[in-house]
Structure formats: C-alpha cells, structure tokens
A = this chain, B = another copy of it.
Amino acid sequence: MTFSIFLPEQLATGADVKLPVLYWLSGLTCTDENFVQKAGAQRLASELGLIIVCPDTSPRGDEVPDDEDGAYDFGLGAGFYVNATEEPWAKYYNMYDYVVEELPEIVARNFPIDIKKQSIFGHSMGGHGALTIALKNPEKYHSVSAFAPICSPMNCAWGTKALKKYLGEDESTWSDYDSVELVKNATRPIPMLVDQGSADEFLKQQLKPELLVEACNRAGMPLGFNQRDGYDHSYFFISSFIENHLRFHHGILSMLV
C-alpha cells in the first residue's frame, strides 16, 4: 500500500519532538495524491505542526479484483473503508483494518508521531470513512471532520452498491459502516465538523447530510455543520475551507496532554 505523508517544517530542525497526526481519507477514484496536490493544506499544517497522512482509497495490484465493468464507484479506487466479507473481495478489500490498525503502526514506526494525538478527516467516500472510523474508535481519534461526506451509505445508490458487494445481501451487517446508524448507537461524544456545498451535484441523491444532522441532534453528538452556498463537490471546495478543518483538529489535539 502506498501512502503520502506531510511532515511539518519544525521536524527539519532535528529536534526530538513528536507531533499530532491527521489521517485524510479521499473519495471515489482518488489515490494518495489528490489531497497532496490540490487541497493546499501544507502551509497551515506546517505552521500548526500537524503531520498529515493520506492513504490510497483501495488495495492495488495485478492480483486485486476490480469491478467487472470497471465502474468508478466500486473496486479499485472505491474501497469504501470496510472489511469485505464476500468473495472475491474479502482477501484484499480490508481498508477499514488498514486505516485503523496497520497504517498507524507503520507510520508510528517510521515517523515522529505522537500516537496519542490522532484525528481523521476526509472527502465524500472518505468523509464516510472518517466518520465511521471515528465513531467506531472514539478512543483512538479525538476529532473527525468531513467535506461532503456520504452520510448514510445504506440510503444511497453508491453505498448500497458497494455494501451489497463487499458485505453481502444481509443489510444488518451494513449498519456497522453507516455514520447515521453509528451516531444513533454512539456511547461517547466525539467532536465532528462537516462542510457541505449547496451546489454539490451529489448532495440530494448520494450525500444526504440532513440524515446525519438529525441523528446528531437526537443523540446529542457535537456536530458543527456548515452549508457553503454555491460550492460544488470538487477539491476547489476543499481548498476553500481546509484551513478551518485544520484549525478545528489542531484546537482539539493541542488541548490534550
């Protein structure tokens, strides 16, 4: 697995410091490079002293099976951050375990990470990944944020296609990867920030943030939700508000001892 990592400038001094880390999860069709090239996060991340790790969005390689029609929304580039249980996906499509377990260990072994100061964020399918992973592991991630996340994959075409293929027909297994369902059953609050563009072409059919807002309101989950008028689903939207998200996570991580 390939991943990108941004190391802030202060590490270049050779000082023996460990820094907090943000994990960025990208959306459909992306790799470990989209955020690095387009989000414009580095300047402020360097100033705030935040390491940012960007994994790929699916397993890769000649042996890894892909959608039989090569569709963009399943298979390669579309791992949906689950552990697949169905064949032929179960062997390689374990992005949940990779992001939660394997990747932090690799990062901590090789870079000056403060493993006790982790947060997670993402975009679209990666927003879904960030929210579900944080909600399932509130002891590991101190805050979570998302741009235009798929809020309830059980209730949209992208999500049901992927969950059915990765997890099988039994929908009771899907709720374990659905942010709205996880919020309903959450036992511990985790600070959440979501930005959503009003001109996002996927807003009504695929993203459905109103379901997340309602679930958080009912569950008392601390969600900051910003509707951004006129913004679409692109990385231009992300780069416009990335600084808010970095400051949100930094504010929380910097309070930890």
User: Contacts of A239 on B, CB cut-off 8 Å?
Assistant: 40, 42-43
The docked-state distance in angstroms from the alpha carbon of A43 to that of B239 is: 9
The docked-state distance in angstroms from the alpha carbon of A42 to that of B42 is: 15
The docked-state distance in angstroms from the alpha carbon of A232 to that of B240 is: 26
User: Contacts of A13 on B, CB cut-off 8 Å?
Assistant: none
- Decide yes or no whether A38 CB sits under 8 A from chain B: yes
Which residue in B43, B235, B240 is a CB contact (below 8 Å) of A37?
Answer: B235
Residues of chain A from 196 to 247 with CB closer than 8 A to chain B in the complex? 235-236, 239-240
The docked-state distance in angstroms from the alpha carbon of A42 to that of B243 is: 13
User: How many residues of chain A get a CB closer than 8 Å to chain B's CBs?
Assistant: 9
Q: How far is the CB of A172 from chain B (nearest CB, A)?
A: 42
Binary per-residue interface labels of chain A (33-50) against chain B in the complex, 1 for a CB within 8 Å, 0 otherwise = 000011010110000000
The dominant DSSP class at the A interface is helix
The docked-state distance in angstroms from the alpha carbon of A3 to that of B38 is: 19
Chain copies in the assembled complex: 2
The docked-state distance in angstroms from the alpha carbon of A43 to that of B44 is: 13
Decide: A37 and B38 in contact? CB cutoff 8 A: yes
User: Contacts of A235 on B, CB cut-off 8 Å?
Assistant: 37
User: Contacts of A38 on B, CB cut-off 8 Å?
Assistant: 37-38
The docked-state distance in angstroms from the alpha carbon of A43 to that of B236 is: 10
The docked-state distance in angstroms from the alpha carbon of A42 to that of B40 is: 10
Query: Chain B: which residue is nearest A234 at the CB level?
Result: B37
The docked-state distance in angstroms from the alpha carbon of A236 to that of B45 is: 14
Query: Chain B: which residue is nearest A37 at the CB level?
Result: B38
The docked-state distance in angstroms from the alpha carbon of A239 to that of B37 is: 10
User: Contacts of A40 on B, CB cut-off 8 Å?
Assistant: 40, 43, 239
Residues of chain A from 2 to 48 with CB closer than 8 A to chain B in the complex? 37-38, 40, 42-43
Residues of chain A from 90 to 120 with CB closer than 8 A to chain B in the complex? none
User: Contacts of A240 on B, CB cut-off 8 Å?
Assistant: 42-43
The docked-state distance in angstroms from the alpha carbon of A240 to that of B235 is: 18
Q: Could you list some 8 contacts between A and B, CB below 8 A?
A: A37-B37, A37-B38, A37-B235, A38-B38, A40-B40, A40-B43, A42-B239, A42-B240
